[in-house]
Structures are given as structure tokens and as C-alpha cells.
Amino acid sequence: AQKVTQAQTEISVVEKEDVTLDCVYETRDTTYYLFWYKQPPSGELVFLIRRNSFDEQNEISGRYSWNFQKSTSSFNFTITASQVVDSAVYFCALPPSGAGSYQLTFGKGTKLSVIP
Amino acid sequence: GAGVSQSPSNKVTEKGKDVELRCDPISGHTALYWYRQSLGQGLEFLIYFQGNSAPDKSGLPSDRFSAERTGGSVSTLTIQRTQQEDSAVYLCASSLRRVETQYFGPGTRLLVL
């Protein structure tokens, strides 16, 4: 069975601080994707990134960066110079795995509050 | 291109009434998913469509819930005889294929009084 663990339930930071959201996963697949989604107060789940397990290079997109470490089964997400608009719940997820599996396996989410 | 759309955005209904929630996926996406998110909770998978067929309906929480997808596009989730515990945000997602990136709609916030 697949599992995603986001140990940080809630994090508060002051604007302009850097913050890292942790994600640890379990899967029996040898190749797989990993995802991060953002859910702002409006409620919509916004896709942020998809990472293939083949590629362990860090990814950077503006103030966002992702550190994928297959050896420790972690896919951490860092926001640099946080802004109030970053306040949201962030979910890490694995895709469906195996026959009869259709849904994303989500972590429980980390609620990030950026204080002005 | 347009993203996933859902209607209505909000729905308030009385206990015992039936409701229909609609999802219009991204054009060309063959896979469509329904999830439910209760207040402060994680996402609960409800049902998946590949084309028009739903291979597995076991995620639906009760026989009051049903879903269909017509023409490989629009999907409707129907809840009969609504109960207060059905109050939640119902999220629809679509993807090109089963393991590809799922893109979510804005959700329908259902409140059963």
C-alpha cells in the first residue's frame, strides 16, 4: 500500500522567511511520480509540480524549490522569501499504483500561515 | 485552455432532498475523478471514470450516492436523500490518463441543513 506522510500539521512563519514543508512517502513502485498541490483558502486544489522518480535533480520555479531524495523517500518543498499569498494548505501526493487503483494518495497536508 | 469547471459553486439544501453536482473536465482528458473533502479533513476518493465507464464504485460512501458520465465528458454526481454528514466540498479532477497529473476544479460546497 502507498503512503504519504506530512508530519508538519501547521507551520507559521513571518513574511520573507524561508520555509520547508516535508514529505515522506512509501511505494512499492520502482518508477513513479510525485506531486505537490496547493489549496488556498478559496478551496481549489492547484497543481504545483510533478516529479519523476528518475530525476533526482532539484527543481526551482521562482521562489519555490523541491528537493527529491530517493534514498530517503523524501520530496521536500521550500518556499523562499515567503509571502502572505503563500498561506494555504499544501499536499504531497503519489499517483495511482497497480490495477484497481485510481486515486491520488495524499498526505494529510501542511497548513502554512505567513504572517505579515 | 479551460480548466475543470464545476457547478454549482455552492449548494444549500434541506435534509432529505436530492442534489446534483456537475463536473466539466478538461477537453481531451479521458480520466475523471470525484473526491470529497469534509471540513478540516483530507481528501476522500469517491469514484473514477475512464471514458464513460466507472470500473470501481466501491469508494462511494453509500447507495445514496451515484455518478454518471455521458459522452466521455461531463459527469454528474447525485446524492439522494441528503444527510447532514454529506456536507462537504466535492472536488472533481481530470487527467489525460489514470497515472497522469490530475487537475482539479474549484469544487462545489454542499451544506445540508
Would you say residue B84 has pLDDT above 80?
yes
Hey, how many other C-beta atoms are within 10 angstroms of the C-beta on B49? 22
d(CA B109, CA B36): 10
Residue found by looking up cell 457547478 in the block: B7
Q: Do A108 and B42 touch (CB under 8 A)?
A: yes
Question: In the predicted model, what is the mean pLDDT of residues B28-51?
Answer: 90
Q: List the single best residue of A97, A102, A106, A111 to mutate versus B (max B Cβ within 10 A).
A: A102
B42 and A106 Cβ atoms separated by less than 8 Å: yes
Q: What are the grid coordinates assigned to B54, written together?
A: 466507472
pLDDT at B48 over 80: yes
The whole-angstrom separation of Cα A20 and Cα A53 is 20
Q: Note the pLDDT of residue B1.
A: 57
Confidence of residue B39 (pLDDT cuts 50, 70, 90): confident
Across all residues in chain A, what is the average pLDDT? 93
- Cβ-in-10-Å burial (0-12, 13-18, 19+) of B72 comes to middle
Does residue B69 have a pLDDT over 90? yes
Parallel/antiparallel/unpaired status of strands A19-21 and A74-79:
antiparallel
- Interface of chain B against chain A, CB under 8 Å? 31, 33, 35, 42-43, 45, 48, 55-56, 59, 89, 91, 93, 98-107, 109
CB-side neighbour CA atoms (13 Å) of B110: 30
Quick check: B107 and A109 CB within 8 A? no
**Digit-coded pLDDT (tens) for A7-50:** 999 999 999 999 999 999 999 998 899 999 999 998 899 999 99
